[in-house]
Amino acid sequence: MTSILLSGPDMSDAERAAVITAFDSGWIAPLGPAVDAFEQKMAERLGRRHAVALSSGTAALHLGLLAWGVGPGDVVPTATMTFAATANAITYTGATPYFVDADPETGQMDPDLLEEVMSELRRQRRPVPAIVPVDLLGRCADYTRIGDIARRYDSRVLADSAESLGAEHAGIPAGKHGDAAILSFNGNKVMTTSGGGMYLTDDVAAAARVRFLATQAREPVAHYEHREIGYNYRLSNLLAGVGLAQLDRLDGMLERRRDRREAYARLVADVPGVEVFQREDDERDNCWLTAVLVDPEVAGFGAADLEAALRGAGIESRPLWKPMHLQPVFESAPAGITGAAERLFVTGLALPSGSGLTGEECARVDSALEDFFGSRAERAA
């Protein structure tokens, strides 16, 4: 039995043709017409003035912070419920990540807690040049409240929208929130370039700075002239070709992710103690990953039991992000903790959500879930 992945790439003949076109154009290096077109199309779709295609979402976070001068001595509040890339990028700059716990319902950075953290850091006279909210599993963070807090504390928002392309908050698409935002095109995201990312902003100087730092900080002269340390972070033109084809298919791919969300919601509707995570008001989410929350007291089983049963059927599922404040590597980082993210980590399980799942694969996942819930209900009766 082939195994079913959580969120595999969704590729078609269009992506294949795009790679060949880029190949035949002779533009194999980073930079080239496909990179320019990819940046322009994404900026247009999201209503941003500037887009810089980069080698990863992590690179975009790193340079986004550097472009604002974030460095040693600075503190950068971010969500504890995130993938390590967010916290790693903050650490690369020499700044200290400050982990903020989650709203128990949405799993997003808790704005009340952020306010407390900002106020405490101000009392300590610690510089907080940037806040990095994270759009968990494809749902936008509360940018209305976070943006307001950032303004009152003279800080800026770099939105980690790696997971949320296609989502919206307050009528504004993911990627357009904050003073700048980043996207990821890693293989498991809603669209992929196999590996890649993008930095988006309306600030022409910040965009130019990111572009400059991403090309080894090479000065604009004929010979190779360097006055500062740079990085090799540009996206290859071949991969931008894949990105263009994926962007054309994005809306259809997002619909299929939503279909999975709806199917899981129907499947667990009558299962006591099991609910779809982030289900409330989820019309504007991109449904990157659909997860369920399992209350073992009510359900009679835990998320780990469900994971094991699916694994036995060749189906991948995964706990939600282990919070950063519980990661050994960030043990000594400051954190504002309520326990909400840890509870989500213990009770949550992400289910196969990829848009490339075939009808047959979807049916296999659904019947594995039905079998598991059915056998548990019988045992309980």
Token pair 């100087």 is found at 205
Does the footprint of ligand PLP cover residue 146 (CB under 6 A)?
Answer: no
Using CA atoms, how far residue 360 sits from 364, 365, 366, in Å, is 6, 9, 10
Give 193 or 299: the residue with its C-beta nearer to ligand PLP. 193
Q: Which residue from 8, 32, 57, 138 is in contact with ligand PLP, where contact means CB under 6 A?
A: 57
Give 59 or 340: the residue with its C-beta nearer to ligand PLP. 59
Smallest separation, CB 136 to ligand PLP (Å)? 8
Q: Which residue from 7, 9, 56, 174 is in contact with ligand PLP, where contact means CB under 6 A?
A: 56
What DSSP state is assigned to residue 315?
Answer: B
Neighbours of 378 (CB within 10 A): 8
Position 360, amino acid: E
For ligand PLP (CB under 6 A), the number of binding residues is: 14
Does the footprint of ligand PLP cover residue 278 (CB under 6 A)?
Answer: no
Give 162 or 267: the residue with its C-beta nearer to ligand PLP. 162
Neighbours of 152 (CB within 10 A): 12
Give 86 or 96: the residue with its C-beta nearer to ligand PLP. 86
Give 299 or 352: the residue with its C-beta nearer to ligand PLP. 352
Q: Which residue from 7, 80, 93, 186 is in contact with ligand PLP, where contact means CB under 6 A?
A: 186
Smallest separation, CB 366 to ligand PLP (Å)? 26
Phi and psi at residue 236, to the nearest 5°: -70, 145
Q: Residues 44-66, buried b or exposed e (16+ Cβ, 10 A)? A: ebbebebbbbbbbbbbbbbbbbb
Smallest separation, CB 337 to ligand PLP (Å)? 19
Q: Which residue from 134, 180, 254, 292 is in contact with ligand PLP, where contact means CB under 6 A?
A: 134
Give 86 or 347: the residue with its C-beta nearer to ligand PLP. 86
Does the footprint of ligand PLP cover residue 163 (CB under 6 A)?
Answer: yes
Smallest separation, CB 330 to ligand PLP (Å)? 15
Query: Tokens standing for 25?
Result: 């154009």
Query: Tokens standing for 33?
Result: 């017409």
Give 324 or 335: the residue with its C-beta nearer to ligand PLP. 324
Name the closest residue to ligand PLP (Cβ): 57
What DSSP state is assigned to residue 134?
Answer: B
**Three-class SS of residue 30?**
strand
**Contact window for ligand PLP (CB under 6 A) among 9-17, 54-62, 332-340, 372-380:** 54-62
Query: Tokens standing for 314?
Result: 């060749």
Nearest to 159 by CA among 113, 144, 43, 341: 144
The number of angstroms, rounded, from the C-alpha of 147 to the middle of its chain's C-alpha atoms is 19
Query: Tokens standing for 296?
Result: 């073992």
Does the footprint of ligand PLP cover residue 83 (CB under 6 A)?
Answer: yes
**Contact window for ligand PLP (CB under 6 A) among 50-58, 104-112, 297-305, 306-314:** 50-58
Smallest separation, CB 278 to ligand PLP (Å)? 15
Give the separation between CA 17 and CA 278, rounded to whole angstroms.
37
Q: Which residue from 106, 184, 192, 278 is in contact with ligand PLP, where contact means CB under 6 A?
A: 184
Q: Which residue from 82, 106, 192, 246 is in contact with ligand PLP, where contact means CB under 6 A?
A: 82
183: β partners: 198
Smallest separation, CB 105 to ligand PLP (Å)? 19
Q: Which residue from 51, 81, 85, 141 is in contact with ligand PLP, where contact means CB under 6 A?
A: 85
Burial class (CB in 10 A: 0-12, 13-18, 19+), 101: buried
Does the footprint of ligand PLP cover residue 286 (CB under 6 A)?
Answer: no
Check: CB of residue 320 under 8 Å from CB of residue 139: no
Query: Tokens standing for 129?
Result: 């040049």
Check: CB of residue 131 under 8 Å from CB of residue 98: no
| Interface contacts to ligand PLP, rule CB under 6 A | 56-58, 82-83, 85-86, 134, 160, 162-163, 184, 186, 197
